[in-house]
């Protein structure tokens, strides 16, 4: 699986959320991650929200698939909020 992102967006995300997209890619190694389609708005493309574990803790990442699903383009990444952590932990039976 390949990852891509806009470098300026990565820097803004790092400044705002203190999470680097390179680190955020670790959530895709989490076999227990939760993925749902982001339907809050019409973005002109399918966006997927994922909650999963990475070195900084439980993260909330938004991405879209590119190249017929062979590449993921990261859009945002941040630490999961209390509600998102509860959802993730409930899926683990905690």
| Four-residue CA torsion sign, 53, 55, 61, 64 | negative
Token duo for residue 48: 């997927």
Q: What is the mean pLDDT of residues 26-38?
A: 96
pLDDT, tens digit, 9 for 90 and up, residues 49-87: 999 999 989 999 999 998 777 899 999 999 999 999 999
pLDDT, tens digit (0-9, with 9 covering 90-100), for 36-59: 998 888 888 899 999 999 998 999
* Model confidence, pTM: 0.91
Where are the domains positioned within the chain?
Answer: 2-79
Instruction: Specify the pLDDT at position 67.
Output: 78
- Considering the domain 2-79 in this protein, what is its CATH number? 3.10.450.530
Q: What's the whole-number average pLDDT of the chain?
A: 94
Whether 30 has a pLDDT exceeding 90, the answer reads yes
Measuring CA to CA, which residue among 76, 81, 13 is closest to residue 49? 76
């Amino acid at each position: 699986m390949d990852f891509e992102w806009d470098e300026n967006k990565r820097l803004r995300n790092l400044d705002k959320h203190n999470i680097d997209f390179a680190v955020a890619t670790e959530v895709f190694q989490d076999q227990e991650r939760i993925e749902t389609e982001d339907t809050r708005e019409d973005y002109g493309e399918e966006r997927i929200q994922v909650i999963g574990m990475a070195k900084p803790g439980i993260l909330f990442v938004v991405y879209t698939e590119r190249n017929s699903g062979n590449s993921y383009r990261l859009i945002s990444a941040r630490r999961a909020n209390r509600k998102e952590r509860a959802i993730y932990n409930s899926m683990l039976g905690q």
